[in-house]
Every structure is written in C-alpha cells, then in structure tokens.
C-alpha cells in the first residue's frame, strides 16, 4: 500500500512538459526537481548548474554526478537510505527502470482480472540485479512485490545486500542469490520449490569490451567532450558505469536472450511469465524465431520510449490462461 507521501510524488511538475513515451504511472515523467532532490541529498548540489537552455541540470557525462542524482531520486521518491554502489558499476537511469516495472505490472494485471496484483505474495525474479538493486527498490516501493535478485558477480551482490540491509522495508522483501555458473541463466539457480509471477532482465548490450568502448568514444565525441585525436580507452565505458557482465557478453544481447529463451523451456511452470528488455530492434526477428522454436503458448512485445531512445519488453509464457490461474498450486 502506498503512503500519502509516495502517492503525491507520482504527480510530475505541472509547470514542466512531460517526458514523451514514459508510462502514465511513472513518477519521473516531469523534469527533475533539483530543489527537492538537493534537499533529499545535499551532496547533489555541487553537480547542479544552469545549462544552455536555462534549466537546472547536471553533466550526465560525469559518473559521480549521475550516482549522486540517482541517490537523490531514490531518497526523495522511494525513501531509500544508504544507497551506494562500487566505483565503475552500473548506475542505471531511474525513469527507464521504473517504466519496465510499470509495464510488467500491467502485464500481470491481464492475468488478474485487469487488476494489478500487489503485495509480497507477488514474486519477481530479477536476472542480473546488479550492485544498484534498482528494480527491487522500485517494484517493492510501487507495488509491494517481493524479489529474488540474482547475479554472477559477488561484489555486485554484496553491494545490493548492503542496500537491502540499510532499508528495513526491503529486508523481508528482497532475497539475493549468486549464479555460480556464468554461462547459465536459470539452470543451477531456480529451485524446485521456486515460483515467480515474472522474471525480468536487462541483458548485456554489447558483444565485447571493444564494441562497448567504441560506442562510448562515439558518444563522448558527439557530446563534444573529446576530439578524434584524444579518443582513449581510458574514458569510462559508459557515463552510467558498468562492469563486463553488465555491459557485454559473447554474442551480445541477441545471444544472451537466445540462451534465456532456451533455458526457460526447462522451467515452464516456475514462472508465470518470462520477460527481458530488448534494446536493439534488429534482434527481434531472431528472438521471435527462438520463441517459436521454444513452443511458447503466448508472447507479447511491449514498446517503450524515453525521449528519442526506443526500447521494448519481450515477454513469453508456457502456460495457458487456465494454467496461469492455477500455476502456484501445481506440484513439479
């Protein structure tokens, strides 16, 4: 149940134009209120300045500024204290992460007579929870869901654990588990007794470190931060940070999602729905072929957008409507 302070925070700044494409329940549809955010996190003030459009903003190419902004957002809008991540770990943009949560809430509502299910009985499997623990924070804050957050990186899990321990509201809502075998996604992780309403994932985007660095160099050049003669692999891989497993894997996004679909066939009754973000539209045909080969009962593609950035969620299930209604009662 949302408290009054949280509900009020959903309304965007009426004086500011809404960001295009974000979900109607996304509390970040308006411009960032830096006065409110700096009150929540005074450290943010050192990074705030007036940009060329005469608006208060931060330098989004500065990793320290982005971390401070996220800390302020999570404190102000989600009442999270003690949020921090190790240097160079992924510091994700909160509005986009919130959109994923709100869209899967709608999807789960289609299996619940149109009503979004709320409360700790709704279990979400977060593949790649990361050091930031952002999806569990938003999902529990907005809908009261419980999460199993998994990752291959023990440092990331330790960081997520500190965030959970620092916030009593998360203590009995978020469990963390390490995937010991990096090549596996569900195998060796999902237990016989586990039941999840949905799995979520933000898969590695790039196919290699070199590809990630090339993309970063292009971005920094477009931002006017460097010239061709000064491009260097010493630049941050992304202004939002990120370790190897967070940003790239062999075969990139397409290969990772292909493995996810293949492994999901071995756990058809453990998840009511499986889902993943898909950043590259060019990967969709291959994903659809993989879903057809996996013989899923139903699949959905949910378009998302934040400004000019386009993305989408692909979700699939092996359960019929009647099986979805009774899946938690099934004995495997």
DSSP strand pairing (298-306 vs 309-317): antiparallel
Overall average pLDDT of the 299-325 stretch? 91
Range of the domain at 188: 4-31+79-204+249-329
Residue 1 pLDDT > 90: no
CATH number at residue 104: 3.40.50.150
pLDDT tens digits for 94-106? 999 999 999 999 9
- Kindly report which listed range (89-93, 138-142, 284-288) carries the lowest average pLDDT score: 89-93
Q: Determine, yes or no, domain membership for 306.
A: yes
Q: What is the pLDDT of residues 68-100, one digit of tens each?
A: 999 999 999 999 999 999 988 888 899 999 999
pTM of the predicted model, to two decimals? 0.84
At residue 329 the predicted structure's pLDDT band, cuts being 50, 70 and 90, is: low
| 19 within domain boundaries | yes
All residues at 6 or more sequence positions from 16 whose CB lies less than 8 Å from its CB, including other chains:
30, 31
Q: Which residues pair with 150 in a beta bridge?
A: 127, 177
Number of domains the chain is built from: 1
More confident position, 245 or 149:
149
Per-residue pLDDT band for 231 (boundaries 50, 70, 90) equals very low
CA distance linking residue 211 with residue 233, whole number of Å: 11
Q: Is the pLDDT of residue 43 over 60?
A: yes
Q: Is residue 171 part of a domain?
A: yes
Residues in the chain: 332
Q: Note whether residue 39 is domain-resident.
A: no
Helices (H), the chain: 4-10, 34-40, 63-78, 94-109, 134-143, 154-165, 168-171, 209-222, 244-247, 252-264, 284-293, 321-326
Cα gap 182→267, rounded to integer Å: 18
Q: Give a yes or no: residue 287 inside a domain.
A: yes
Per-residue pLDDT tens digits for 13-40: 445 567 778 999 999 999 999 999 999 9
Residue 219, domain member (yes or no): no
**What is the rounded average pLDDT of the residues 3-12?**
36
Which pLDDT belongs to residue 214?
A: 52
Full 3-state SS string of 197-244: EEEEECCCCECCHHHHHHHHHHHHHHCCCCCHHHCCCCCCCCCCCCCH
The answer to whether position 66 is within a domain reads no
Is residue 196 domain-resident?
A: yes
Q: What is the DSSP letter of 248?
A: B
């Amino acid at each position: 149940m949302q408290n009054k302070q949280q509900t009020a925070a959903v309304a965007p700044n009426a004086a500011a134009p809404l960001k295009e494409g974000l979900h109607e329940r996304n509390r970040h549809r308006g411009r960032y209120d830096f006065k409110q955010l700096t009150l929540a996190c005074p450290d943010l003030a050192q990074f705030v300045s007036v940009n060329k459009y005469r608006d208060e903003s931060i330098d989004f190419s500065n990793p320290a500024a982005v971390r401070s902004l996220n800390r302020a957002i999570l404190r102000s809008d989600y009442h999270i204290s003690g949020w921090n991540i190790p240097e160079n770990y992924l510091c994700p943009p909160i509005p986009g992460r919130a959109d994923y949560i709100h869209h899967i809430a709608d999807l789960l509502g289609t299996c619940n007579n149109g009503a979004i299910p709320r409360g700790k009985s709704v279990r979400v499997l977060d593949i790649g929870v990361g050091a930031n623990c952002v999806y569990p924070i938003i999902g529990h804050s907005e809908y009261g869901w419980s999460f199993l957050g998994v990752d291959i990186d023990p440092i990331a899990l330790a960081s997520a654990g500190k965030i959970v321990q620092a916030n009593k509201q998360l203590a009995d809502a978020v469990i963390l588990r390490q995937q010991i075998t990096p090549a596996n996604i569900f195998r060796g992780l999902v237990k016989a007794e586990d039941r999840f309403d949905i799995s979520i994932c933000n898969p590695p985007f790039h196919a290699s470190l070199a590809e990630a660095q090339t993309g970063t160099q292009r971005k920094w050049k477009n931002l006017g931060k460097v010239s061709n003669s000064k491009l260097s692999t010493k630049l941050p891989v992304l202004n939002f940070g990120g370790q190897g497993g967070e940003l790239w894997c062999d075969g990139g996004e397409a290969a990772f999602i292909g493995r996810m679909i293949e492994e999901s066939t071995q756990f058809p009754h453990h998840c009511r729905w499986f889902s993943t973000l898909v950043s590259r539209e060019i990967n969709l045909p291959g994903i659809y072929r993989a879903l057809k080969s996996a013989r899923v009962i139903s699949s959905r593609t949910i378009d998302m957008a934040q400004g000019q950035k386009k993305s989408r969620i692909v979700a699939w299930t092996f359960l019929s409507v009647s099986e979805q209604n009774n899946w938690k009662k099934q004995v495997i």
